Chains A and B, each alone.
Chain A
Amino acid sequence: MSVASRQDTGFVRAALGHPAFLAGLALTALFVLAALISFLWTPFDPEKMQIAAKLQSPSAEHWFGTDHFGRDVFSMLMVGARVSIAVAFVAVGIGIGFGVPLGLYAAANRHGLIDEIVMRGNDLIFAFPSLLLAILITAVFGPGAVNAIIAIGIFNIPVFARLSRGAALSLWTREFILAARVAGKGSTRISVEHILPNLMNLLIVQGTIQFSLAVLAEAGLAYVGLGAQPPTPSWGRMLAEAQTFISLAPHMALFPGLAIVLTVLGLNLLGDGLRDLHDPRLRRSRA
């Protein structure tokens, strides 16, 4: 909420002095990079089966070992990163795309019918056991990455609607908004020109947190078999498949799990770091 130029230089300096933020950035970059590289190169074809070479422990050839079909786990993880990141990104995008306009509109027309519907609708979605509803949705539409995105996206809408409504409500009482009003601007224009830019930091921070939750949710859905369909590798399904081999080939369960943990950890550190950097007052208490 400060002037941009001052923020930029201060931001970089502060960021360099914030190890958690840097660690988060590094981890996130690592996985995004792995996902991008996987389009061009993976050590092996992640779908190539070598039944004779199944369940091999990590070696110089297969860095993370092979799975029950003799596929290279490392290559599968790289491509799996793509799926995880894409699903989470689009799902959060849906949340922002629908949630923010709803929240802004509700705040601009406070106590209106839409406001009431938005808030009650939020209550309704929040009241549902989220995983169960996601399972129901995929039962209706069938499994697949797109339907996983929809299922996760739906739960992101109320998060962003509530967040932006709350923040917008407090902005509406501020003087610069009153000034804009006096100048004769309509409420939609004020929402877009004055309220939204001031919500950006908040949205970026919350977006990062939601991103990490979406990665976890995608892994959970894929684990129960509702994510991307084979042969497309997905971390959650790799874990589900690893389960019966846990005593024979623990590496099959270890690496996908670590990939999820590190991605989520990276995103959380990044999100927390961004919040600190944008709002130093909070740094102390939230860490």
Chain B
Amino acid sequence: MILYFLRRLTALLLTMFAASIVVFLVTEIIPGDPASFMMGINADPQAVAALRTELGLDQPVATRYLAWLLGMLQGDFGQSYTYKVPVSELVGDRIMVSLPLTLYALALSTLIAFPAGVISAARRNTTADFAVIGATQLGVAIPNFWFAMLLVLAFAVNLHWFSAGGFPGWDAGFLEGMKALTLPAVALALPQASILARVMRSSLLDTLDEDFVRTARAKGLTRSQTLWRHALRNALIPVLTIVGLQFSFLLAGGIIIENVFYLPGLGRLVFQAITQRDLIVVRSVIILLVFAVVAVTFLVDMAYAAADPRLRRRPR
């Protein structure tokens, strides 16, 4: 187990290292100079040069890469060119929007998907099953930004129940904050719920086929009894894996939705930083997001390995 752990840990570190190089190089070759962007079209060339020096942009590439890497290892993610505050502070602010939004969307999608998946599996080939299948087919086909526009049209522009965008901050009160996140969370949750419901249904049906479930039924339990007592618990493993993956996907994947609803979240921070050539923010936030994905995968692997020793020897 320890050996497996070490091997996976090495792989994680190597992935992070490779990712840091990729991110650094890509942001390095992006056309557009942060300093000229900040100074605008009437800027004095001398002033732009002075700003480049101030930002450290005139140093060699290798020096800047190492400075960034060493800084991150010490927990220092650098200072935003445009906002002039530490990146960690910006990320800290934004994660207070993105994280609740992600959890909200995940909660919604789970709340919809679980019953839908269970009903669909329990009543296979009934109207209810077909309704769920049809709805999920539609759900995965709808682009979430279009769905978001329809939500805005219906609930903000016409009904005035919600505002069409913006985030008042948690200072405005928990309810106000949650209200602002409701439409975005619904827009994000719909496709995720569809995927989850389908996984739920098929993994339930798979487990219902397995020997121990058949044995249970042979012992005289009804179909729904076996479903609740045996199949559900076993079907949860793939479902929870998907939930874990969706978490890291949503954390970064809200970017378009954050733009549609104008939420000050992580996705929009990076998107803005890219257009403003605030490269240090782009780099550091992407690395953090990559780390989140890699870490989640690592934890899932570890959990599997702990549960099933055979997996430890299986190369991925």
Contacts and interface: CB of A to CB of B under 8 A. Distances in A.
Q: Do A and B bind each other?
A: yes
Contact of B157 (A119, A247, A265, A287): A247
Interface string A125-158: 0111101110111011010000000000000000
B252 A124 contact: no
Contact of A261 (B27, B143, B153): B143
Contact of B143 (A120, A140, A257): A257
Contact of A220 (B145, B153, B157, B315): B145
A127 B15 contact: yes
B256 A239 contact: no
A265 B289 contact: no
Interface in B257-316: 259-260, 267, 270-271, 274, 282, 286, 289-290, 293-294, 297, 315-316
B293 A127 contact: yes
Contacts of A286: 198, 202
B126 interface: no
B256 A246 contact: no
B137 A265 contact: yes
A120 B146 contact: no
Interface string B120-156: 0000100001000100011011110110011011000
Contacts of B149: 239, 242-243, 246, 253, 257
Interface string A208-240: 000010001001100110000000000000010
Given A253-B153, A287-B133, A223 B145 contact: yes
Nearest to A263: B141
B18 A120 contact: yes
B259 A224 contact: yes
A135 B294 CA distance: 21
A223 B148 CA distance: 13
B256 A135 contact: no
A285 B205 contact: yes
A70 to B, nearest CB: 22
Contacts of A127: 15, 19, 290, 293-294, 297
Contacts of B129: 287
B99 to A, nearest CB: 15
B30 interface: yes
Interface in B1-50: 11, 14-15, 18-19, 22, 26-27, 29-31
Interface in B163-208: 198, 201-202, 205-206
A287 B141 CA distance: 16
A246 B252 contact: no
Nearest to A126: B293
B244 interface: no
Contacts of B152: 246
B270 A132 contact: yes
B116 interface: no
A284 B205 contact: yes
B198 to A, nearest CB: 8
Given A220-B143, A261-B138, A287-B133, A250 B153 contact: yes
B289 A246 contact: no
A244 to B, nearest CB: 11
Given A132-B270, A247-B157, A253-B146, A269 B256 contact: no
Given A124-B15, A247-B153, A132 B252 contact: yes
Q: Is the interface of A mostly helix, strand, loop or mixed?
A: helix
Q: Is the interface of B mostly helix, strand, loop or mixed?
A: helix
Nearest to B27: A136
B243 interface: no
Contacts of B315: 111
A159 interface: no
Interface string A263-276: 01100110000000
Given A253-B153, A261-B138, A216 B143 contact: yes
Contacts of A124: 15, 18-19, 22
A264 B140 contact: yes
Contacts of B294: 123, 127
A128 B285 CA distance: 11
A260 B26 contact: no
Nearest to A221: B256
Contacts of A212: 141
B253 interface: yes
B255 interface: yes
A246 B253 CA distance: 24
B141 A265 contact: yes
Considering residues B31, B129, B143, which has the most beta carbons from chain A within 10 angstroms of its beta carbon?
A: B143
B194 to A, nearest CB: 10
Nearest to A266: B141
Contacts of A260: 141, 143, 146
Nearest to A224: B256
9 contacts: A123-B294, A127-B293, A129-B293, A133-B286, A136-B26, A239-B143, A253-B150, A253-B153, A284-B205
Interface of B: 11, 14-15, 18-19, 22, 26-27, 29-31, 124, 129, 133, 137-138, 140-143, 145-146, 149-150, 152-153, 157-158, 198, 201-202, 205-206, 252-253, 255-256, 259-260, 267, 270-271, 274, 282, 286, 289-290, 293-294, 297, 315-316
